[in-house]
Structure 1
Amino acid sequence: MAEQDNGLFAIEVDADDYAGTAASDTPVMSRTYQSQEAFNSIKASYTANIDGGDTKIKLRKKEVQLLGYAAGEMYFERDYENLTALCERALDLCELDVKVIDSVQRWRERCLERMLQASSG
């Protein structure tokens, strides 16, 4: 190896340092060992995480595309009630960006208009 100008790789370590570290006097203990006292203190302070149901589902790009595809198919099939329910569930349960929220709201409004027209006509 070429000699370095700044001496970064010119580090010398005495072999006795390795031997001293390897043969240290620390007791060998299983890495999964835990004393009963430590376990009881952790157990006493433990509280379970409870999901209140407030977290919304983050949709990936493919899932947003699938939502749009499903909405288009349901609208084409004139399945306005189920499409309205799908839109309401998506708005309630999913974390959506502004564009997707606008699209889902438009689908919902169109369906409500179509259902109103069908019931009055």
Structure 2
Amino acid sequence: MSILKLFSSLILCFLIICCVDCERSGNYILEDECNLVVIIPPSDYSNLFKIKGYDPISKEEKFYEDGNRWLDFYKREIEEGDTIVKKKGELIFYIYKEDTIIAHEWVCYDGDGKHTYVK
């Protein structure tokens, strides 16, 4: 019986922790920014969305990590040589390829089966 209570408690904690605050997440993403030419794509890193690249203006090498994990969905679209751009104040993530621009607008799942765009 104690295992059942422990399991129930863990499920309850998981549900509480997983509650989504779209406004808070959206504000965090609005503040985020990057502009990198990709040297090592994110798929080469095992845990989080992490990219090694260089700033196309200063040529300085940098790492970019997405702590909010919304960019994980787009890992497979990013290759060496692409330029990734997330402008401060926008909820759009851009992937510039040689002949294509891919734009992903941030979507927040609110837990009720609805998707809410925060602007």
TM bucket, shorter chain: under 0.3
Question: TM-score w.r.t. structure 2 length?
Answer: 0.25
Question: TM-score w.r.t. structure 1 length?
Answer: 0.25
Which has a greater percent of strand? 2
Q: For the pair shown, which has the larger CA radius of gyration, 1 or 2?
A: 1
